[in-house]
A and B are shown apart, each in its own frame.
Chain A
Amino acid sequence: MAIPELYQEILIDIFLRLPAKSIGKCRCLSKPWRAFLSSPEFIKSHLARNSHKQNLLLISAANSIHSIDTIKERTNSAKIKLRSDWLEFVGSCDGLILLVNKKGEIFLVNPVTLQQRRVPNSPLSLKKRFSFTVHGFGYDSSTDDYKIVTLSYYDPECEYEPDCVDTFVDVYYVKKGFWRRVENSPYDHSAPDRASGVLLNGALHWLASSPGTGYPSVIAAFDLAREVFDEIPAPSGMNMDFVFNSLHVRGGCLCMVDYQCNARKSIWIMKEYGLAESWTKYGIGWYDGILKPLCFVGDEEFVLITHEALVVHNVKDGKSRDMVVDGVQDAFIDGGIFVGSLLSPTFS
């Protein structure tokens, strides 16, 4: 490279600070820089350096995807040129996003590099007409692989398999490229809102109910390394009907948002992971008619969809404001946060 040794080290440090999108440009500088900036080591360092910078990805009512890098009242989104009828944002990890389209097909997408990979259905997947399916996506550091976890069970109303109450668990190993069925979930995942798994501490979390006496509600945590469920204690003293609760991550802590209609809204935060006594309740006043709580962006801003608008609620000052994206208020159906990275969903 035509740069003195000393300068080169400084230049690498500067490159590590650039957003992923600008790194692509720097790969066009020269062959040696292209090789360096494409190496798995650089991509990993860049991700580590930038993992605190959160972007928001939204799915529009017209089923296209849009990214937003700063949350403010009036903002513009960048339409991401990956075409499908996108329906659901499952989750994101290290800049890869798992999306589901209207046909129920799942895709791993990097919204920065515009790479996408269709994930094949599990050979054991249940017929869509007769069953329900939820997904989760995360990283298992013990095997250095990304995993997609699918929970599926027959519709109890269906005549096809009326007596089967099992919840099947299938794991897709993203780098290796195959599915494996693991032990069934011991929990009933049918009661609450069919939400995607929430990634924290190497586990995917779902609200579920325990098959024990009285069907107590629990947080079921699927450990991505051991591939078994653990139980995370729910807050004691809260209304244990999880129908109007949703699970999120805020500031590295598991948190539960209670958005029941006509009740005082609250957020529970588990300050120390796994420790029942660490659940702390915060009262919040906000909009009625929340359709879907989406995600926290940073520690303070909570994004949700109401009947009329996309709303950002600041949990610190208790104020809510409508978010107008590209001049439109209510054009989004799902979304979540991601970090901009150079990781390829194909790992090639």
Chain B
Amino acid sequence: MAAETGTPTTLTLKSNDDELFSVAESAAILSVTIRNMVEDGCAGGVIPLDNVDGKTLASVITYMNGISAIPADEEKKKSYRDKFLSDKDFETLADMVLAANYLNMSCLMDAVSAKIAQVMEKKSVGWVRRKFGIENDYTPEEEAAVKEEHKWTFEGVETDDDN
């Protein structure tokens, strides 16, 4: 740390599609994965993040900077997270949850998972299968039977015509 001069230390992060990002160390160490690298002295040069693409990493860094600028006030942090995630589509959220998992950022992981659950809540079975790559191994008869058995679940579910 360059505490003496007051200049914040900057880290360089590299995405798996070779984009480079500069980020203040104080913000980047929200990621336990990055913090461990820094503590082990591996952060001298460029930190390669093999599981995160540039688009997602840019978003994560926006989050890192935004949330670390907020003083220790859980309510303000929560409202920042809500706002940050409010305009993200499902694909972005899915990329972010994987990135947050890889980077070991529990607060982001928690917020994104909650957001995905909220998006999923009223979606159809077909939508969930497509978005999560779940293979339907029911025969049509079996599927009709399991749906009949779970009739209570289908009130208020969106019809299966959205992306």
Tally of A-B Cβ pairs under 8 angstroms: 82
Cβ-defined contact, B135 with A18, below 8 A? no
Q: How many chain A residues have a CB neighbour from B under 8 Å?
A: 31
Cβ-defined contact, B137 with A28, below 8 A? no
Cβ-defined contact, B117 with A2, below 8 A? no
**Does chain B have a CB within 8 A of A48?**
no
A2, A3, A10, A25: the one contacting B157 at CB < 8 Å is A25
By a CB distance below 8 angstroms, the chain A residues around B137 are: 30-32
Chain A nearest Cβ from B17, distance in angstroms: 20
Q: A17-B114, A29-B125 are in contact. Are A24 and B153 (CB under 8 A)?
A: yes
Stretch at the interface among B5-13, B37-45, B142-150: B142-150
Stretch at the interface among B19-27, B62-70, B77-85, B126-134: B126-134
Cβ-defined contact, B152 with A1, below 8 A? no
Q: Which residue of B lies closest to A111 (CB)?
A: B152
Q: Which residue of B lies closest to A113 (CB)?
A: B152
Cβ-defined contact, A6 with B101, below 8 A? yes
Bits for A1-45, please: 1 = Cβ < 8 Å to B, else 0. Answer: 111001100110111011101111111111111100000000000
Q: How many chain B residues have a CB neighbour from A under 8 Å?
A: 30
Cβ-defined contact, A33 with B147, below 8 A? no
Bits for A135-177, please: 1 = Cβ < 8 Å to B, else 0. Answer: 0000000000000000000000000000000000000000000
By a CB distance below 8 angstroms, the chain A residues around B101 are: 6, 10
By a CB distance below 8 angstroms, the chain A residues around B128 are: 25-26, 29
CA distance A113 to B154 in the complex (A): 11
Cβ-defined contact, A25 with B153, below 8 A? yes
Cβ-defined contact, A10 with B125, below 8 A? no
Q: A1-B134, A3-B133 are in contact. Are A28 and B143 (CB under 8 A)?
A: yes
By a CB distance below 8 angstroms, the chain B residues around A27 are: 146, 150, 153
Interface centre among A1, A24, A78 (most CB of B within 10 A): A24
Cβ-defined contact, A30 with B150, below 8 A? no
**Does chain B have a CB within 8 A of A112?**
yes
Cβ-defined contact, B152 with A11, below 8 A? no
**Does chain A have a CB within 8 A of B47?**
no
Q: Which residue of A lies closest to B118 (CB)?
A: A17
Q: Which residue of A lies closest to B129 (CB)?
A: A29
**Does chain B have a CB within 8 A of A114?**
yes
B97, B116, B121, B150: the one contacting A24 at CB < 8 Å is B150
**Does chain A have a CB within 8 A of B113?**
yes
Chain A nearest Cβ from B140, distance in angstroms: 12
By a CB distance below 8 angstroms, the chain A residues around B58 are: none
CA distance A21 to B155 in the complex (A): 9
Bits for A174-193, please: 1 = Cβ < 8 Å to B, else 0. Answer: 00000000000000000000
Q: A10-B97, A21-B153 are in contact. Are A2 and B135 (CB under 8 A)?
A: yes
**Does chain A have a CB within 8 A of B61?**
no
Q: A3-B134, A22-B153 are in contact. Are A14 and B120 (CB under 8 A)?
A: yes
Cβ-defined contact, A22 with B134, below 8 A? no
Cβ-defined contact, A10 with B98, below 8 A? yes
By a CB distance below 8 angstroms, the chain A residues around B132 are: 3, 7, 11
By a CB distance below 8 angstroms, the chain B residues around A19 are: 121
**Can you report 29 A-B residue pairs in the complex whose CB atoms are below 8 A from each other?**
A1-B135, A2-B133, A2-B134, A6-B98, A6-B101, A7-B98, A10-B101, A15-B117, A17-B113, A18-B117, A18-B121, A19-B121, A21-B153, A22-B121, A24-B153, A25-B124, A25-B128, A25-B153, A25-B157, A27-B146, A28-B146, A28-B147, A30-B136, A30-B137, A30-B138, A31-B137, A31-B138, A78-B155, A113-B152
Interface residues of B (CB under 8 A from A): 97-98, 101, 113-114, 116-117, 120-122, 124-125, 128-129, 132-138, 143, 146-147, 150, 152-155, 157
Given contacts A21-B153, A27-B150, 20 further A-B contacts (CB under 8 A): A1-B134, A2-B134, A3-B132, A3-B134, A10-B97, A10-B101, A14-B113, A14-B120, A19-B121, A22-B153, A25-B153, A25-B154, A26-B125, A28-B138, A28-B143, A28-B150, A29-B136, A30-B129, A30-B136, A34-B146
* Pairs of residues from A and B, 3 with the lowest C-beta to C-beta distance, nearest first: A24-B153, A17-B117, A24-B150
